[in-house]
Amino acid sequence: MNANVANTNLMNSNVVSSGVANWPPELLQELERNHNNGRVGDRLLSETERVRVWSLTLKPGERLPFHKHVLDYFWTVVLPSKGRSHYSSGEVIEVEYQRGETKHLKFARGEFMMHDLENIGETDLVFTTVEFLDSANSPLPLGE
């Protein structure tokens, strides 16, 4: 996971495993298949020459497939819950997200972060994500 992180308040996070050896084959196949998937939310709300604004709503048990971040961006939690992400680095991290929590990420040319997100909480998990199109890397295709 290559990224410079600022304004991170993930005090309620926990690395639950490291390494892809124990991942199910279908998860590894999805990781490979989505290597260039730039769809970082479930709904693109707005796009200009400068930004893309995404909404992400996951009901309990729902999952956003693997996607790749290459653009500078930030996300903010709208409705809190608990999530689990598998990262292409092999880490699996569980986080209790709090309303208003915000994380900013910045990527140098060639850097990226790839992960999925599953709602493992009991309430909807809702984020707003803003990507900056004038980042060091070109935007990826949005996938399906």
The Cα angle at residue 33 between residues 69 and 118, in degrees rounded to 5: 60
Domain ranges in the chain?
Answer: 4-132
Q: Is the pLDDT of residue 4 over 60?
A: no
Q: Is the pLDDT of residue 63 over 50?
A: yes
How confident is residue 13, by pLDDT bands cut at 50, 70 and 90? low
Percent of the chain with pLDDT over 70: 88
Tell me: the pLDDT tens digits for 72-93?
A: 999 999 998 999 999 999 999 9
Q: Is the pLDDT of residue 17 over 90?
A: no
User: Structure pTM?
Assistant: 0.87
Specify the fold of 4-132. Jelly Rolls (2.60.120)
Which residues, listed in sequence order, are joined to residue 104 by a DSSP beta bridge? 6, 74
